[in-house]
Amino acid sequence: LDVMESYILNDKLKYVAPEAMALFVEHCKDIKDLQVVERCLLHMETNLMDFDSILSLLKKNLLFTGMFHVYCNGLDDFVSPMELLFEGLFDATDDRSNRRRVDIGERDANSNQLEKYGYKALLYLEYSFNGKYFPKGDAIHPEERLQTIRRDLLDLLFRESYLPQPHARAYGLNHSINGIRTSSHPYLRVLLLIDTNAFL
């Protein structure tokens, strides 16, 4: 498992069996460096992946950059990974709001999660609206597909109310509908909370 990373990052290994990938993820968890998994995924052929097993691992470990890569490049789905990231954003927003009531002024891990997830969402949207795959920056083709991606993402952002996602519930996300999820336009609202200038 220790040498697997270098083989993948040097493009000598483009496919890893689901069982080996699960062991690799556990190994990375043990050494407290799950970012290695995402870096490796960016070098692997998405058309060879076992989508169910790899997405299960990514969702379980909240590896959103990897999810964006697999969903967009492998499944041509630009909305589902954003919906999953929004679940993380909603949870982090609600956790931060609850903690502020209890521990005013204390900066905690949830604030960092909110910023981390929020800026990742903003960057993903910037790439997508500019016709690029996130995070590698390869061009999205054809132009007709780019137009549907933009429309689908705008539909998500401008939803008037929260829509529970069944694929998120299975991984411990969106356990209840409260907090920011009950607001009008929650998807837009949470991004504006992160950084209004960057969003606009």
**Using 50, 70 and 90 to split pLDDT, how confident is the model at 175?**
low
**Using 50, 70 and 90 to split pLDDT, how confident is the model at 104?**
very low
Q: What pLDDT is stored for residue 166 in this prediction?
A: 72
Tell me, yes or no, if the pTM score tops 0.75.
yes
∠ at Cα 189 (186, 193), nearest 5°?
A: 135
Alpha helices in 76-142 (DSSP H): 80-102, 109-129
Q: Name the maximum alpha-carbon separation found in the chain.
A: 51
Q: What pLDDT is stored for residue 77 in this prediction?
A: 96
CB within 8 Å of 106: residues ≥ 6 apart = 99
Arithmetic mean of pLDDT, 90-113: 67
Q: What pLDDT is stored for residue 102 in this prediction?
A: 46
**Using 50, 70 and 90 to split pLDDT, how confident is the model at 99?**
low
Predicted confidence (pLDDT) at residue 152 exceeds the cutoff of 80: yes
Predicted confidence (pLDDT) at residue 133 exceeds the cutoff of 60: yes
Arithmetic mean of pLDDT, 31-51: 90
User: Over the stretch 112-126, which tens digit does the pLDDT of each residue have?
Assistant: 889 999 999 999 999
Q: What pLDDT is stored for residue 168 in this prediction?
A: 60
Q: What pLDDT is stored for residue 158 in this prediction?
A: 97
Predicted confidence (pLDDT) at residue 75 exceeds the cutoff of 70: yes
Q: Is residue 92 packed enough to be buried (19+ CB in 10 Å), middle (13-18) or exposed (0-12)?
A: buried
Average pLDDT of the chain, as a whole number:
87
For residues 107 and 91, the model is more confident at: 91
Arithmetic mean of pLDDT, 160-179: 72
Q: Is residue 97 packed enough to be buried (19+ CB in 10 Å), middle (13-18) or exposed (0-12)?
A: middle
Arithmetic mean of pLDDT, 58-69: 92
